[in-house]
């Protein structure tokens, strides 16, 4: 099966030894996207804004790979505070019009750059 590294300047660059996304056959696996605005390199603030930016970064990666949010089959959402769950869901729902993908959401003690959320996805081409 062919493996292809996916990268775009429309999502934050990797901050370690990993790829932004990898396509294997018909599947695309994104790395965790944090809420860094790729145009400025700055973090947005607030859980709703951070959720929107992290998901926008996932969307940009998928589009660079020839896919879309409508083709996401699984996401994993890491949040720093489970009390933000309702706010995350509110924004998350705007990215998935109908038939949302399977999802795991877990609270973690710390995320890169001390962000409030990180999102990764698996999609089909």
The catalytic residue positions are: 105
**Residue 54 CB-density burial (10 A; 0-12 exposed, 13-18 middle, 19+ buried):** buried
Strands, DSSP E only, in the chain?
3-6, 21-24, 27-30, 72-79, 102-107, 117-124
Give the whole-angstrom CA distance, residue 85 versus residue 79.
Answer: 8
């Amino acid at each position: 099966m062919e493996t292809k590294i996916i990268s775009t300047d429309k999502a934050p660059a990797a901050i370690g030894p990993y790829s932004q996304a990898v396509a294997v056959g018909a599947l695309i696996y994104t790395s965790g996207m944090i809420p860094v605005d790729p145009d400025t390199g700055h973090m947005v603030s607030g859980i709703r804004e951070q959720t929107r930016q992290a998901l926008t970064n996932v969307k940009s990666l998928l589009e660079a790979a020839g896919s879309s949010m409508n083709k996401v089959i699984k996401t994993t959402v890491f949040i720093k505070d489970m009390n933000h769950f309702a706010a995350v869901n509110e924004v998350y729902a705007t990215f998935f019009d109908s038939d949302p993908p399977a999802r795991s959401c877990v609270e973690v003690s710390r995320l890169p750059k001390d962000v409030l959320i990180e999102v990764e996805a698996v999609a089909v081409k």
